[in-house]
Structure 1
Amino acid sequence: MKPNRLLAVVALVLGLAGPVRAAAPEGLVLTAGDRSALVGAFGRAGLAPPAADTGDAALWNAVERLARVELGQSLRPSEIDPLWDLAAPSRRVEAEMLQAHAQGRLAAWAGSISPDAPAYLALARARLRYAAIAAEGGWPALSANLRLRPGDSGEGVEALRRRLAAEGDAPQDPPRPDRFDAPLRKALAGWQARNGLDDDGVLGPATLRRLNVPVQDRLGRIEANMERWRWMPRALPADRLEIDTGGAVGALYRDGRVVHAFRVIPGAVKDPTPIFQSRLNAVVLNPPWNVPDRIAREELLPRAARDPDYLARNGFIQTGGRLQQKPGPKSALGRVKFDLVSPFGVYLHDTPGRDAFQRAERHLSHGCMRVESPLVLADLLLAPQGRGGSRMQSDLAAGATLRVALVRQEPLFVVHWTVKTEPDGRAGFLDDVYGWDARLATELARM
């Protein structure tokens, strides 16, 4: 996002530019408590507050605009991309605000417009931090051919130190600022780890490219992740399964706490896994794979044309006019499949390709989500109804396909987080593999 576009977005949110959507009530007079609450709403959203001398009407209008954004009313995700099938419920922001004022609860209403999820509040702190960096002119770009490793010295090392200092990573007051010493290596390795890179403490091409991303782009990505949080339910189920396609990880929650975390292989760039909410309704043991027509047409049948024994050798048969792969050690679905209701036809499943889970970049599937530890997850889901443990193992060993309906269907959220935050407001930025951050930031800048 360009600097002038960033400032335009901030100005619009603060009510300093753009068309007026609603006017403050005629003769509006706010109490000191109401003014304090309305001003405080900006801080919770990660924005600097309006000036202290902002009039009551201007403050009202600025908060009404802020509320539209914070309540997820500024855009409809599926209208931008049909794969973004998660949205905040529609709300009549102006009417809510007027009613809250009339009933003497404007302060409480203003305090509730931003999501209160810890991850969202951490993103808000990061937005404040990175906006302050942008206001100071951003960070200096490093030379395109700069390569550094511990033991090096010179102006390039000092430039790297200044760049890390901009985000609060460089050690303070080194005896030799121009020397790539052990503390600087540790600082660089920490920055790399936070940003999803190999934390070798060496300045190579990949790290240099990430360091040279302008702060305005970082702000745009923070904005995009905050917007996706606004699409989430304000009260998430305490028991749920979350799949994060940005970080390629998953987590099962019980009573609001993670009881099982695992890696995931989401959709590749050409087959992104959608953002949506659903429920797991069954666990399928020893599942067959009904091959989607596109995969059969574009991948399997051309391969079979080159290798006539390929289909039979890998357990494929023709049934009902389509290809199906029988259960077994070569099955693309592995030993377990997790069924769910989805308009996209995607689901979670095992895979025989275990090595791929060790890769840093795991966006490799056709859109479904391959699970690193499917037997553990299946056991956790089936145990409450007496179908886990030894019974599940026995059912698997029998080799026959068995679909076990879940008595208590598991709430599922497939989300996409690409910015990870530290308690002090520093942020780490994963690759924008699908290009969704850039696209969403552009849409937000158009508001």
Structure 2
Amino acid sequence: MTKVFSGRVARRAAWTAALAGIAAPVVAQQVAPAPQTTPTPTLQAVPVPPFVPNPPVVLPVLTAAQAAELAPILNEAGFAQGLRRVGDPAPGFKDSETLVRAALDYARAVHSGRLAESDFDPNWGLRPAAYDPLPAFAEAVKQNRVGAWLRDLPPPWAGYDTLQKGLATYRKIVAAGGWQKLAAGPDLAVGASGARVAALRKRLAVEDPQAIATGDKFDAELKDAVVRAQRRYGLNPTGVVSSGTLAALNVPAQDRVGQIMANMERWRWLPSELPAKRIQVNIAAAVLTVFEGDAPIASMKAVTGRPGNETPMLQSKIHSIVLNPPWNVPTGIAAKELWPKGEAALKAQGYKIIGTGANRRLQQQPGPKSALGRYKFDFPNNYAVYLHDTPSQSTFASFSRLASHGCVRLEKPGPLAQLLLRNDPNWQPDQINAALAKGDTLRVTLQEQDQVSVYLLYWTAFANANGTMNFRGDPYGWDKDLAAKIEKRSAITAAAVSAR
């Protein structure tokens, strides 16, 4: 999920004017001095380069065989890759040029996403690299491998491939009628029976081939099926169907299709290669995973931003760890949550008031009460967020862990710090613990080879190792927002292509 950044080189031209020297006045007896003059500087004319219009885009010309191969691929590809919905009209190709332009449009969309720059929410800091498919497409036409080129365009990630399979599965569910909404009522658990239990069995069997669809008794087998469903939805696996489980089961099948399509789009924002050593945070699931050699080696619970204080999607690199960090309280948080408590209460909680009047601000001193705990993991970003410890451990016991102001709180920051510093002989576990016990604030800069990429991602649909689809809630409403923008942008680009 590495970002590719491009810069623009600005050219500047400087004018240099040579000033003529001024001669001293000549004085003669009874003769008025000659008037002093300053020669006018001579400016050299700089030739203006002639206007050269941008050369017209030259599209490759397809052979009849290439056109016959390309058209059916495009008709199916946009649908299979989640760029078109069921019922959307297939693209029409009135001539070879329209077919080529449709191929280029599809290539851009499936390789780096459908959205334009203006479509991105400010919190979607993870952006795809610019991509121009024309040179590669022209080469594919030249080499007569257009079909193979198109098939190689989607993201090369197993996570994307499993979503594509899940998309096909859930579209079949929709085509078969989806599932019926379960009626509200008392919690259902082992021992219950009746029509609601019978409906529950039918509902679970739609997604779970192990579930038995018939019967109206809530037995141990049905409890196991409920637990599997709760795990798929990231809920507390109690085996009891309460309001939260009921709400997850009642999300329409068509909405699950849209959720899969939105997550496929986010995969397209990632580059084709990721650092083998990286840290990933799934914001929606509130889980952090450490990768080494492109394989997960550690995982821990996290706490991410509550709705209204969203944790942004971004990519960066952890460059340092602050031990015993103070908390410089953001102005908005201080005004809304802390100043109303009064200065005496704030001082009792370890806050230091810096400045006076309108310029005063709050800083919470390091210590056991500090909101940042003992560790802060710093990485550059435009959102002032970071990973950090917390003295509030109770939140990690919850299955809903969206409770922060936007930063990511960690369940096990100590082991993570030791992992990142393991190659630094000056910062082995004993030295880290001694520094923490002393209480002074220290910034430990990671050695360059130990600086690790970090990705904050928003995955609400993904498959586990056996291919079973998992879903999480859409706490920020980003799935629906993204789906609407994809649909709008698809309609705009389709109209532009067909109008040519």
Q: If the TM-score is normalised by the length of the shorter chain, which range does it land in?
A: 0.7 to 0.9
Secondary structure class of the residue paired with 2:288: strand
User: For residues 413 and 161 of structure 2, what CA distance do their matches in structure 1 show?
Assistant: 32
Q: 1:377 to 1:424 in 2, by over 3 A?
A: closer
- The aligned counterpart of 1:395 is 435
The CA deviation string for residues 135-191 of structure 1, in whole angstroms up to 9 with x for no partner, is 2222122224475332333333322222112213453476xx232232222112211
User: For residues 426 and 55 of structure 1, what CA distance do their matches in structure 2 show?
Assistant: 41
Query: Superposed, which structure 2 residues align to 1:202-241 within 5 Å?
Result: 202-241=240-279
Q: Is the 8 A contact 1:167 1:426 kept in 2?
A: no
Q: Is the 8 A contact 1:331 1:351 kept in 2?
A: yes
Q: Is the 8 A contact 1:334 1:352 kept in 2?
A: yes
Q: Is the 8 A contact 1:115 1:229 kept in 2?
A: yes
Structure 1 residue 66, shift from structure 2 partner = 3.5
- The aligned counterpart of 2:107 is 67
- The aligned counterpart of 2:133 is 93
Pairing 1:163–2:199 present: no
Q: 1:127 to 1:65 in 2, by over 3 A?
A: farther
Q: 1:196 to 1:239 in 2, by over 3 A?
A: same
User: For residues 197 and 319 of structure 2, what CA distance do their matches in structure 1 show?
Assistant: 56
Structure 1 residue 94, shift from structure 2 partner = 4.3
Q: Is the 8 A contact 2:156 2:272 kept in 1?
A: yes
Secondary structure class of the residue paired with 1:310: helix
Pairing 1:30–2:30 present: no
- The aligned counterpart of 2:378 is 339
Structure 1 residue 56, shift from structure 2 partner = 10
Secondary structure class of the residue paired with 2:65: coil
Secondary structure class of the residue paired with 2:346: helix
User: TM-score, length-normalised on structure 1?
Assistant: 0.85
User: TM-score, length-normalised on structure 2?
Assistant: 0.76
Secondary structure class of the residue paired with 1:342: coil
Q: Is the 8 A contact 1:129 1:425 kept in 2?
A: no
Secondary structure class of the residue paired with 2:236: coil
User: For residues 178 and 251 of structure 2, what CA distance do their matches in structure 1 show?
Assistant: 10
Moved more, 98-107 or 294-303: 98-107
- The aligned counterpart of 2:350 is 315
- The aligned counterpart of 2:123 is 83
Secondary structure class of the residue paired with 2:231: helix
Q: When the two structures are aligned, how many residues end up with a matched partner?
A: 419
Q: 1:73 to 1:419 in 2, by over 3 A?
A: closer
- The aligned counterpart of 2:473 is 431
Q: Is the 8 A contact 2:119 2:485 kept in 1?
A: no
Query: Superposed, which structure 2 residues align to 1:361-376 within 5 Å?
Result: 361-376=400-415
Q: Is the 8 A contact 2:376 2:386 kept in 1?
A: yes
- The aligned counterpart of 1:445 is 487
Give unpaired runs (5+ residues) of structure 1: 1-21
Q: Is the 8 A contact 1:129 1:426 kept in 2?
A: no
Q: 1:65 to 1:31 in 2, by over 3 A?
A: closer
Q: 1:383 to 1:36 in 2, by over 3 A?
A: farther
The CA deviation string for residues 377-403 of structure 1, in whole angstroms up to 9 with x for no partner, is 111111212213211112212211111
Query: Superposed, which structure 2 residues align to 1:8-407 within 5 Å?
Result: 25=61, 27-30=63-66, 45=81, 63-76=103-116, 79-145=119-185, 147-169=187-209, 171-172=211-212, 177-304=215-342, 308-319=343-354, 321-386=360-425, 387-407=427-447
Q: Is the 8 A contact 2:82 2:261 kept in 1?
A: no
Q: Is the 8 A contact 2:202 2:213 kept in 1?
A: no
Identity %, equivalent residues: 39
Structure 1 residue 424, shift from structure 2 partner = 5.8
- The aligned counterpart of 1:4 is none
- The aligned counterpart of 1:6 is none
The amino acid of 1:300's aligned partner reads L
- The aligned counterpart of 1:19 is none
Q: Is the 8 A contact 2:224 2:239 kept in 1?
A: yes
The amino acid of 2:197's aligned partner reads V
The amino acid of 1:410's aligned partner reads V
Q: Is the 8 A contact 1:47 1:128 kept in 2?
A: no
The CA deviation string for residues 197-241 of structure 1, in whole angstroms up to 9 with x for no partner, is 222223322222221211111111111111111111221100011
Moved more, 92-101 or 378-387: 92-101
Q: 1:129 to 1:403 in 2, by over 3 A?
A: same
